[in-house]
C-alpha cells in the first residue's frame, strides 16, 4: 500500500479525528506547547469531560499523547503522525501537477478557429 | 503553464493549487466546459478518461470512466454544485460503480476552481477538500501509480531516442 507506515484503520482514525474543528484546534494548541486538559477546557464552552472525550479520540489516532502528572493529565502533540497525513496529500498533489501540465499543453495547441488571427502574430 | 504554488493543509484536509496559463480566461474555462477537451487532461495518459455525460450548469451531472492499460475501467461522476462562467466552478467528484452511476455510500471530494485574468494570462486556483480518508487514500494511490508509469514511459521514450515526444 502507498502509506507504508500506516494501516488503513490508522489512517481512518487520523482523518476521523481531524474532521472535527475542536479537535483540530486542540491539536494546534498542543503542537505549540503541552497543555493540561483543564487548561484546554478554558478555551471552549464545553465541559472538562467533553474535552477529555475529544482528547481520547485524538489519542486513539496517535495525533497526541497523554501523560498523567500528579492530578493533571498533560497533552502533547505528535508531529510524526501529522507528517504522515501530509504525505498522503503530497501524493494527491502530484495528480493535479500533471493535470495542470496537460491543460497547458492543450491550451498551447493552435486553435483552428483562431488560426488566422494567430498567423498574423507569431509564426 | 507556470506552476505558482501548492498549499497543503493536513489538518483541514485541503489542498490548494495555483497555476498560470498563457491563454485568456475564456479559453481556460473551455477545457472544463467542453467534454472533448476535458477528457484529454482529466485522466492520465495511461488511464485516459471518457466523459459520457457532461451537464455544465448548476445541479448538472457528469459521468466518466477511465480506461486502464489492461482495458479495465474505473468510473466516476461529478455534480456541479455552483457555476459562474467563466470565473468560478464548484463540483463534487466521486466514484461510480460498474453501471456508471454513483456508488450508494460514496463520499465525494469537493472542488472549487477559480479563474482570474492576470496580465493577459489566466490564474487558475483549485481547492480540493477531502471528507473521507479512504477517498484520499484511493486517489493518492492512483496518483502514485500514475507518477511511476509516467516516469517509466518517459525513460522508454528517451531510450528509444524519441526526443520529439519528450520535448
CATH of A1-108, one of 1.10.10.10, 3.30.70.100, 3.30.300.30, 1.25.40.10: 1.10.10.10
Q: Show the cell assigned to A6.
A: 500506516
Predicted ipTM of the assembly: 0.79
Mutate to test the interface with B, among A11, A25, A88 (most CBs of B within 10 A): A88
Does A99 contact B at CB distance below 8 Å?
Answer: yes
| Count of domains observed in chain B | 1
The percent of residues in chain B predicted with pLDDT above 90, rounded, is 49
What residues have CB less than 8 Å from A95, skipping those under 6 apart? B44, B139, B142, B143, B146
Domain residue limits, chain A? 1-108
Distance between CA atoms of B27 and B97, rounded to whole angstroms? Answer: 32
On whether residue B162 sits in a domain, the answer given is: no
On whether residue B57 sits in a domain, the answer given is: yes
Q: Are A89 and B15 in contact (CB under 8 A)?
A: yes
Distance between CA atoms of B23 and A118, rounded to whole angstroms? Answer: 12
On whether residue B32 sits in a domain, the answer given is: yes
Written as tens digits, the pLDDT of chain A (123 aa) is 344 456 667 777 777 777 777 888 888 788 778 899 999 999 999 999 999 999 999 998 888 899 998 888 999 888 776 666 666 677 678 888 889 999 999 999 886 665 555 555 544
On whether residue B147 sits in a domain, the answer given is: no
Does A21 contact B at CB distance below 8 Å?
Answer: no
What residues have CB less than 8 Å from A33, skipping those under 6 apart? none
The per-residue pLDDT for range B44-53, each reduced to its tens digit, is 888 889 999 9
On whether residue B83 sits in a domain, the answer given is: yes
Q: Are strands B61-67 and A35-36 parallel, antiparallel or unpaired?
A: unpaired
Q: Show the cell assigned to B86.
A: 467563466
Q: Which domain holds residue B12?
A: 2-132
How many alpha carbons lie under 13 Å from residue A91 in its C-beta half-sphere?
Answer: 22
CATH, residue B33: 3.30.530.20
**Residue A19, Cβ neighbours under 10 Å: how many?**
16
Amino acid at each position: 500500500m502507498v502509506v507504508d507506515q500506516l494501516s488503513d484503520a490508522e489512517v481512518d482514525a487520523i482523518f476521523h479525528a481531524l474532521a472535527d474543528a475542536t479537535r483540530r484546534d486542540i491539536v494546534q494548541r498542543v503542537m505549540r506547547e503541552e497543555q493540561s486538559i483543564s487548561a484546554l477546557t478554558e478555551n471552549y464552552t464545553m465541559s472538562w469531560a467533553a474535552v477529555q472525550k475529544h482528547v481520547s479520540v485524538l489519542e486513539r489516532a496517535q495525533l497526541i499523547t497523554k501523560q498523567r502528572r500528579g492530578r493533571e493529565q498533560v497533552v502533547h502533540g505528535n508531529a510524526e503522525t501529522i507528517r504522515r497525513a501530509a504525505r498522503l496529500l503530497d501524493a494527491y498533489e502530484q495528480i493535479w501537477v500533471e493535470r495542470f501540465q496537460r491543460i497547458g499543453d492543450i491550451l498551447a495547441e493552435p486553435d483552428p478557429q483562431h488560426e488566422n488571427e494567430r498567423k498574423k502574430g507569431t509564426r | 503553464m507556470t506552476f505558482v504554488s501548492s498549499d497543503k493543509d493536513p489538518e483541514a484536509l485541503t489542498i490548494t493549487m495555483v497555476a498560470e496559463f498563457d491563454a485568456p480566461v475564456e479559453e481556460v474555462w473551455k477545457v472544463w466546459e467542453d467534454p472533448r477537451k476535458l477528457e484529454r487532461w482529466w485522466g492520465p495518459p495511461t488511464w485516459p478518461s471518457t466523459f459520457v455525460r457532461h451537464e455544465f450548469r448548476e445541479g448538472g451531472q457528469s459521468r466518466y470512466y477511465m480506461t486502464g492499460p489492461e482495458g479495465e475501467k474505473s468510473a466516476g461522476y461529478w455534480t456541479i454544485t455552483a457555476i459562474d462562467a467563466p470565473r468560478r466552478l464548484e463540483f463534487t467528484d466521486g466514484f461510480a460503480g460498474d453501471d456508471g452511476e454513483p456508488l450508494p455510500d460514496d463520499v465525494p471530494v469537493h472542488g472549487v476552481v477559480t479563474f482570474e485574468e492576470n496580465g493577459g494570462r489566466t490564474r487558475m486556483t483549485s481547492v480540493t477538500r477531502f471528507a473521507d480518508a479512504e477517498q484520499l487514500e484511493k486517489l493518492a494511490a492512483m496518483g502514485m501509480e500514475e507518477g511511476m508509469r509516467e516516469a517509466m514511459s518517459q525513460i522508454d521514450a528517451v531510450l528509444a531516442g524519441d526526443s520529439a515526444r519528450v520535448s
